[in-house]
Chain A
Amino acid sequence: MTESLPARVGRHVAELRWEGLSQAVRGRAPLAVLDVLGCGYVGDRLGVHGAFVDGIVRGGGLSEATLWARGDRAPATHAALANGTVAHHVEMDDGVPRASLHGGVTIITAALAQAEAIGASGKATLEAIVAGYSAAVACGRPLVAGIGAHRLHPPSIVGCFGAAAAAGRLLGLDAEEVAGALALAGQLLPIGPFEPFTRGATAKDLYGGWPGLVGVQAAELARTGLAGPPDLLEAQRDGLGTFVLHAPADTAGIEPDPDELLNAYFKPYSTCLSVQPTLTALEQLAGRVRDPESIASVTVETYPFAVGLSVDSDPTTPIGARTSLPYCVASLLLDGEVYPEAFTQAALADPRRQALAAKVNAAVAPDMAEPGVRGGRVMIRLRDGSVHRAEARAPRWSAAEPATSDEVRDKFRRLAGPAAAALEAAVDGLANAPDLSQLVAALGQPS
């Protein structure tokens, strides 16, 4: 009988070594940490989840891990929940396309929390993060097409595996125990409908934090001997595959890739990925449309999923607006960028933004209907009759032209605000840090 995927991934997680990783992935890991820290800090500054985090603080428990930008401490599970939820609000956290993973908010938050709780070294923490990404993608890849077909939110589901792997690695679980933790996480991962995103419900941000809680909890319980079913994915009639795929998951040939972190993209815009190819195309026209008042109409053609989300979106909310093509296009035209500032209540209520959004129409591009195609095409018609067109076959900072280290750092510094310097110094020194104390101290700085 073929070894189950959780078993193979468990062995990979338990055996991964920093010294065996490529230089590229070792260089990428600190960048990924910076990126999600930036998201967390701007999320805190926006204050959307202040009451939520206050509740976590009141919940008490062991003072194991830091709540970013607040200095409060909480159990590792709760810290992962809080930090992941806050960081996910601005929709600028990273992603891995082939499993629709948001590793920053689901894995890195869990890893940092667990690492702080046990006094792990910086290197061990980065190892766990790398292991988490490879585990999440390996476990998520066989399921992701079915998850999407059911209109569910893949990151909220796939992230649970990564968090469990990262936490399990840090807890020193052996291969079998990691496999058990992955399977436990697979039992408890959420159904995760996409509805809260398009409808703008604040619970959508929990899709960033809940996987961290699930994963860390799964790992902690695996350490006590609890385990999920070894054939969680491959079970003939009652595994995860039989729900989203209507068949056992085909895991043959899937092996965790230690370089998976290199497949993660960073986001240049504070929006759902679905909108970003269109924004990338639109940016090409920035110099040709200087006055938004001169715009008569904007026509967008993009891939079906993006159009569908946009149609269903509620652009009157900070969360729903981030899936709205008209709103995001209008924001880019007015602001020259789409950063979290575009989704404040004031911005949402801005009559200029609303009027411009009303001029934007989106439709499915027939040549972008193939699965995996994520392009966007924009046509701006000005009042003087001139027409300007641009197209992008992929969003900015995707695999075709990934973000440079400087670009990621610039984004981080802007998002993290006054705490940026201390955070950056701590993260840059992680690989050689005996523990996370320097980072923890930096995380105590307010946003």
Chain B
Amino acid sequence: MTDGLVYELAEWVTELRRDQVPDSAIHAARRLLLDRLGIAVGGHRLSGAHPTATLAARMSGQPAATVWATGAPAFAPYAALANGCAGDALELAAEPTCAEAGFAAAEAADRTLGELLLGIVAGAEVGGYLRRWLTEPLERHGLHPVAHVGGYAAVTTAGRLLGLSTDALAGALASVACLSPQAPYASFSGGATGKTLYGGWPHFLGLWACLWASGGTVGPATALEGSRGVGQALLDTGGPIEPPAFRPAVDGWEIEHVHFKPYPCNRGSHPTLTVLERFGRPDWSEIESVHVWTYPYAVELDRRSRGDDPTAAQMSIRTTVALSLVLGGLEPGAFSAGSLADPRVGELAGRVAVEVDPRYAGEGPRIRGARVRLTLRGGRVLDERTDEAKWGRSAPATDEELMERFRFLTAGGSVGGLDPLNAPEATKARAWGAAFAHQS
């Protein structure tokens, strides 16, 4: 295979050298790894063991990798599945979706942390490119973009770490293209518990695709752009398409632009919550009404949200605002059945109006902004706007903020005895994974 978009992507990945990547990007990869480790461990601690952890425990085999929350070994695709699903209920994970698959691959191939970090950089670049290309049609079709395209980043990172040749990695990317889940958003909006599988399935598929490719089972070179490929299906063109040019690192490295999630809910609510934070902590009982104007897709997601369970609530701006005001903020795990059953939340949510802000409804790059007007009893009004959610590009999360969240999630501050932000790059992933067993 020497043609096709997947080959072009694979060739760049396999030829990427450490000296081509700035230290800042490597550090950014550490930040992603830190966050993902914390979310998985925290999810297990706060939400209980995900069923995929039990599933992974039954799946021994080679290559093996570690289930982070339990420290138990499992067949690598299942370890990555469990790690990705473990914290999904917290709704804190940021793209790219490659750390879990990458860590598993690094263990399987006995790689170092340094190699894992470089793999994450590569996965972020490929994943970011495909996410930018395909997110709009995925959203338009009511599909969950991260669940569908996440596998591309996962297979990229894992494939590099497993030492796949360019041909094999291209074939693995193509297999992912063929088998990526359609991932209807209804699982989220409808409050289905199965939605948490979206956190781990991309890693599961990515690792399987790598294993198949090393044995010669591969997808077609034109899986993405061909006349019967994925692109034409999502873009409704019914024929071959010209994908956008892949220009890695042309606008900085993708990994350095990760927008970590400060709030444990769907991103649609984040700009709104960012504004709410600026209002301090108004007494919820003093609130007469809340009016939110925000970007169209956020309003769309809010309207789709149905059901009063934690999953659907994480997609509802109305419920999220109400919960945040009643609780005085949103900590990981805030969306529990108990907190949502609080009558104050439902009553206040009924006084939250959400509509599209024309400022954010034009053509061009999406602006994830919101304006919030809080009307208090007595006539006082708080009214502010933001064009960017907290921890966005102009003011990303600091290392300290991420570490603070990590400590909260892990109730300790390390996983496997190491600090992901500072562990030596020569650390062997396998040794690190083995250390997880002693902390669980």
Contacts and interface: CB of A to CB of B under 8 A. Distances in A.
Contacts of B171: 201, 203
A183 interface: yes
Given A58-B62, A61-B59, A203-B212, A187 B184 contact: yes
Closest 6 CB pairs of A and B: A60-B61, A238-B142, A51-B215, A229-B190, A238-B185, A199-B220
A192 B176 CA distance: 10
Interface stretch (A217-225, A291-299, A374-382): A217-225
Contact of A196 (B60, B194, B219, B238): B219
A52 B215 contact: yes
B196 interface: yes
29 contacts: A52-B212, A55-B215, A58-B62, A59-B211, A61-B58, A62-B58, A85-B217, A150-B233, A151-B233, A152-B233, A183-B192, A187-B187, A188-B197, A191-B234, A193-B230, A195-B178, A195-B229, A196-B223, A197-B228, A201-B221, A203-B212, A203-B217, A217-B55, A227-B193, A228-B187, A229-B189, A235-B186, A242-B184, A246-B141
Contacts of B234: 191
Contacts of B177: 191, 193
Contact of A190 (B60, B181, B211, B300): B181
B183 interface: yes
Given A187-B181, A187-B197, A238-B189, A59 B62 contact: yes
Contact of A75 (B58, B185, B195, B212): B58
B152 to A, nearest CB: 12
A229 B226 contact: no
Interface range on chain A (Cβ under 8 Å from partner): 35 or more
Contact of B220 (A187, A201, A220, A235): A201
Given A184-B194, A235-B184, A240-B182, 15 more contacts: A52-B217, A59-B211, A187-B194, A190-B179, A191-B233, A196-B174, A196-B178, A201-B218, A203-B174, A204-B178, A224-B54, A229-B189, A242-B142, A243-B141, A243-B142
Contact of A228 (B180, B192, B220, B236): B192
B230 A187 contact: no
A195 B142 CA distance: 23
B180 A191 contact: yes
A151 B197 CA distance: 27
A240 B174 CA distance: 23
B354 to A, nearest CB: 16
Contacts of B230: 191, 193, 195
Contacts of A193: 177-178, 223, 226, 228-230, 233
A154 B171 CA distance: 22
Contacts of A242: 141-142, 184
Nearest to B190: A229
Nearest to B233: A150
A28 to B, nearest CB: 30
A303 interface: no
A231 interface: yes
B169 interface: no
B201 interface: yes
B147 to A, nearest CB: 8
B178 A227 contact: no
A30 interface: no
B243 to A, nearest CB: 14
Interface in B191-231: 191-198, 201, 211-212, 214-223, 226-230
Contacts of A49: 217
Contacts of A84: none
B220 A186 contact: no
A196 B222 CA distance: 8
Contacts of B304: 236-238
B178 A192 contact: yes
A227 B194 contact: yes
A445 interface: no
A55 B59 CA distance: 14
Contact of B75 (A59, A151, A196, A202): A59
A201 B219 contact: yes
A186 B197 CA distance: 12
A198 B62 CA distance: 33
A210 interface: yes
B51 A188 contact: no
B175 interface: yes
B289 interface: no
B75 A61 contact: yes
